[in-house]
């Protein structure tokens, strides 16, 4: 997330559930080593990321808004396997309605190419993903 000339830009790929009946578990999209990262001064799972370094591609996959599994922590890397549960989607704590908190659970997936020090388009790594839902604009925020 950046602001460029007062304009908000979002470099992540948002991933939501199509229904609250679907599990809110977050699984590792790659094999690698994972660590928990929190925004400085924040003590909320909503501002927590699980970052996974894929040693074969040298890509870091960062998943924001994740309540990490208990085996993960901020002090050491832990080996994870593709498909392994690494946490659950965090509640959107800023929403006062518990039903909306559950509905709007999501994660932001950001891919970082370590060798070239640049962001990577996540859709390049999601060949099997098919999006059948047309985008809608629900809110516009002006800062």
pLDDT, one tens digit per residue, over 46-83 is 889 999 999 999 999 999 999 999 999 998 999 999 99
Distance CA 53, CA 112 (A): 9
The encoded tokens of residue 66 equal 């994740």
pTM for the predicted model, two decimal places: 0.79
Q: How confident is the model at residue 141 (pLDDT cuts 50, 70, 90)?
A: low
Number of neighbours of residue 91 by Cβ within 10 angstroms: 19
**9-38: per-residue pLDDT in tens?**
556 778 888 788 889 999 999 999 999 998
* pLDDT tier for residue 91 given thresholds of 50, 70 and 90: confident
**Cβ proximity of 89 and 66 under 8 Å:** yes
Of 49-53, 70-74, 88-92, 99-103, which range is least confident? 99-103
């Amino acid at each position: 997330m950046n602001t460029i000339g007062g304009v908000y830009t979002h470099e992540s790929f948002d991933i939501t559930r199509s229904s609250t009946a679907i599990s809110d578990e977050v699984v590792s999209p790659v094999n690698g080593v994972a660590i928990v990262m929190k925004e400085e001064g924040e003590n909320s799972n909503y501002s927590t990321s699980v970052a996974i370094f894929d040693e074969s591609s040298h890509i870091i996959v960062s998943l924001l808004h994740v309540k990490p599994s208990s085996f993960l922590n901020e002090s050491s890397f832990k080996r994870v396997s593709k498909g392994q549960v690494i946490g659950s989607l965090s509640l959107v704590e800023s929403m006062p309605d518990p039903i909306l908190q559950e509905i709007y659970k999501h994660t932001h997936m950001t891919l970082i190419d370590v060798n070239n020090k640049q962001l990577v388009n996540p859709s390049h790594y999601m060949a099997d993903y098919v999006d059948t839902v047309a985008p809608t604009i629900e809110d516009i925020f002006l800062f």
